[in-house]
Amino acid sequence: MSLLLIAALLVNSVAGFAPRNATATAPDNEVITKYDKAKDLTTVSLLPLQVSGKRDNYYSLHVTASFDYPGQTFKSPESFRFEIKSVVMGRKLNPDLYVVFVIDGEVIHLGSNRWAVKNPLPGRRAIGEVIVMNMPSAVFLKLVSGRDLAIKMGGTRFPLTWIHRATLRTLAGKAEL
């Protein structure tokens, strides 16, 4: 009887973690489209995705991406805004932090703007950081098409799961890439 129970638990746990097929996308409610009348600009953005919880010197890592176009008439973007938000243990950021994307073994570095966010976790010794990159559409397409994806920050590698890829593909679909 206990062997049957173990087998049933194993089947249920494997079924619960089975990845969707390779073309799966996230629900459309993960994407927000806003029109700014004053700027005459439409922005299409993803809700933030948690990539990691506590790991090495980090409390958390989240990513988001967006693109925009003038007016309200859709125009496929030439680039995306890719944003990484991290919460780092301690009160100091590493000024030499090197952020790269690893896509199917290929290392891609993009220039970035960064700034600190003070006291992201009240009561804990932590500092937040926002890293914003301008990602060409060709690189974003490579990112959403890749099979083995990660963000490497210094010596820490943060793998992107099939859920992250599916959500990023949803945004790529809205950009008609």
Read off the CATH number of the domain in which 68 is found: 2.60.40
Structural domains in the chain (count): 1
In a domain, 6, yes or no: no
Range of the domain at 45: 26-174
Kindly tell me the sign of the dihedral angle through the C-alpha atoms of 66, 67, 73, 74: negative
Mean pLDDT of 21-37: 71
In a domain, 19, yes or no: no
pTM (predicted TM-score): 0.81
In a domain, 15, yes or no: no
In a domain, 169, yes or no: yes
In a domain, 4, yes or no: no
Helix axes 137-145, 162-174, angle to 10 degrees: 140
pLDDT in tens, 35-92: 999 999 999 999 999 999 999 999 999 999 999 999 999 999 999 999 999 999 987 7
Q: Distance (Å, rounded) from C-alpha 79 to C-alpha 109?
A: 15
Contact indicator for 174, 131 with CB cutoff of 8 Å:
no
Ordered alpha helix ranges (H), the chain: 2-17, 137-145, 162-174
In a domain, 20, yes or no: no
Q: Distance (Å, rounded) from C-alpha 11 to C-alpha 114?
A: 45
In a domain, 58, yes or no: yes
In a domain, 92, yes or no: yes
